[in-house]
Amino acid sequence: MRLVLQLLVVAAVAMAGSAAVQAANWNMPLTLGFGVATGVLLILAYAWIVRRTERRAVDEVAPRAAVSGLGRGLLLGVALFAAVIVNIAFLDGYHVIGRGSVSGAVALFGFAVAAAVTEELLFRGVLFRIFEDWAGTWVALVASAALFGLSHAFNPHATVWSTLAVAVEAGGMLGAAYAATRTLWVPIGLHLGWNFAEGGIFGTDVSGTDGPDGLLRATLSGPAPLTGGGFGPELSLYAVAAGVLATLVFLGLAHRRGRILPRRGRRPAQANATLSR
């Protein structure tokens, strides 16, 4: 029941926010304002419904950790995607053709805020966390990553490979980031940094969808395994490699910190406290 209630509340706020962001039609101040407002309202709604259904402090979105968690995640997301673009450019697959638009980049940032907060609360805050409580970290990681990939299966230019790639590189990485840190701020920042770098900085499509020009106007050329084709660089083998590497690093941290949890029946009583740390 708590799974259903939490999904319903977060999804309802997300749908209203998405409608507002889309109605802004890439107008810079409106898209930025609606996007940030959607993110804030989603965090408040999530904290409210979790507190009501689980009767606990919602430590995973504690305000005291917001600045550091978002900052670390944002920097890592930008750095990871920049590494992907550098590798594609090294093989002559990425070409800057001119300066883009600052207003377009700002609008894309607002859009990315709403998308990152929505998806992290749904897939890591609700699905991963509750699956983990029932069946342990490994099942939660695989199940939430698979559902995250499937949620992108109907994007423009999506294929079976793109669905698998998104599940592995993003679903796995973001779930592992939550497992290692036990805060949603890091995966939110990581997701936001990756998406904003993709569209807002380097001017490429994000998961098959386009938008206004970011800071750079660029083109991709070459074989799809290198550039990602019409779906964008997230389909590139370089993006998959970056996501898998980050996933392994986060899982290593989670293991060292004792945050890989078995299923509930095999879990020592004191391990349950790990879920909220």
pLDDT in tens, 14-57: 999 999 999 999 999 999 999 999 999 999 999 999 999 999 99
Q: Which residue has the higher pLDDT, 263 or 27?
A: 27
For the CA atoms of the chain, what is the radius of gyration? 18
pLDDT tens for each residue of 187-196: 999 999 999 9
CB-based contact 216:100 (threshold 8 Å): yes
User: Any idea which residue has 């898209």 for tokens?
Assistant: 31
Average pLDDT over residues 267-271: 55
Measuring CA to CA, which residue among 241, 246, 202 is closest to residue 85? 202
Residues 223-260 have pLDDT tens digits of: 999 999 889 999 999 999 999 999 999 999 999 999 99
Give pLDDT tens digits for 91-120.
999 999 999 999 999 999 999 999 999 999
What whole-number percentage of the chain has pLDDT above 70? 95
The values of phi and psi at residue 209, to 5°, are -105, 145
Mean pLDDT, the chain, whole residue set:
93
What does the pLDDT read at residue 265? 59
